[in-house]
Amino acid sequence: MKQVSEQVRSVLGEGDVVLVDRGFRDAVDHLTALGLDVRMPDLKVGKQLTTEQANRTRLVTKCRWIVEARNGHLKRCFRDFDRVWPNQSIPHMMKDFRIACAILNVFHPVIESDKRDGLTLATSMLDRLDEDNILANAVAALNLNRESSSDKWERIDGSLDYLDEFPHLSEDLRSITVGSYQLRQARSYCAEHIKINGSYVIDVCKHTGDLSLSSHGFSVGDPLLIRGQSRHRSSTRYFIYILIDKAVQVDVKEGVDSVSSYSCSCPNGYRTVGCCAHVATVLWYFGFSRHQSEILIPADF
């Protein structure tokens, strides 16, 4: 352990920020004792992370994206690093790793995300870090996940006018998802749910006023509450809630400004720094995809 500590100190100084994944959870105390500022995605204790935990986790994963992207690129270009190394190759493994990294540094373009609006997204994430998820609190207080009565919810299909009331979204979706990762996932999730045997259910609340959303901190001129159900396994079902302010669309603003709040019952669904992929899927499909003449479905062959 002493030798490892000396190697770490030779590269990192006191106060340096270290971004790690959850696999380093047993080493956090040791790294902290070395004077390092360790940032790791929060560990889930119950079914969901709190809003504060989910927001902190999103900041870490956003900054760690380049690490994961470069590791994946290294494994794609040099397949030896994508499999288990035989014992006889271990002595020269690090030398091979340095050679492979040097080749990528020389011949491969720099990997950079959010080239156009990186600073804007970073500022937005920091501004929303301490923002509470009021809609999630209202859903829990009103026990909406258990509410399925037809007098409050109506199933959305192609004949309902509610579809026309959903705002049109485009590139401005990135300001909600704070990046493109969840939008790429949304395309795959949507393709999964619109299959013949898919189970993607969307409801709309017919009497939003009866739900007393105003008593939970909302100030929405003309509310439209959407509830979605996303099921990936037979035993797991997530409820997605999106609150739309229809009054904003006829005012000076439109599009993404109409999305007042959102929440999901998935482990990361309470975050206000961005949103989970389930929320992004509903926004992407109803706000963008269904208005396109053709959408390329992943692995559609």
**Which pLDDT belongs to residue 38?**
93
Could you report the per-residue pLDDT of 51-72, keeping only the tens digit for each? 999 999 999 999 998 888 888 8
**Which pLDDT belongs to residue 196?**
47
User: Concatenated DSSP letters for 111-127?
Assistant: P-S-TTTHHHHHHHHHH
**Which pLDDT belongs to residue 189?**
78
Let me know: does 264 contact 279? Beta carbons within 8 Å. Answer: yes
**Which pLDDT belongs to residue 165?**
74
CB contact set of 268 (below 8 Å; sequence gap of 6+): 48, 49, 54, 57, 58, 276
β partners of residue 261: 243
**Which pLDDT belongs to residue 171?**
74
Let me know: does 242 contact 279? Beta carbons within 8 Å. Answer: yes
Among 288, 264, 299, 61, residue whose Cα is nearest residue 181: 61
- Write out the two tokens for 136: 């999630």
**Which pLDDT belongs to residue 153?**
75
CA dist 11 and 4 (Å) reads 11
Residue 128 gets which letter from DSSP?
T
Q: Structure pTM? A: 0.82
- Phi and psi of 102, rounded to 5°? -65, -40
CA dist 282 and 240 (Å) reads 8
CA dist 186 and 181 (Å) reads 9
**Which pLDDT belongs to residue 205?**
77
CA dist 211 and 251 (Å) reads 25
As to burial, measured by CB atoms within 10 angstroms (0-12 exposed, 13-18 middle, 19+ buried), residue 232 is: middle
- Phi and psi of 81, rounded to 5°? -85, 0
Let me know: does 265 contact 146? Beta carbons within 8 Å. Answer: no
Mean pLDDT per 10-residue interval, the chain, length 301 residues: 70 88 90 91 88 94 89 90 88 92 89 83 92 89 74 63 74 85 82 58 67 64 79 72 76 69 92 91 84 64 48
Among 87, 114, 85, residue whose Cα is nearest residue 97: 85
Could you report the per-residue pLDDT of 226-271, keeping only the tens digit for each? 888 776 555 677 889 998 887 765 544 457 888 889 999 999 999 9
- H or E segment to which residue 205 belongs: strand 200-205
As a whole number, the mean pLDDT across the chain is 81
- Write out the two tokens for 207: 């009497």
Residue 73 gets which letter from DSSP?
H
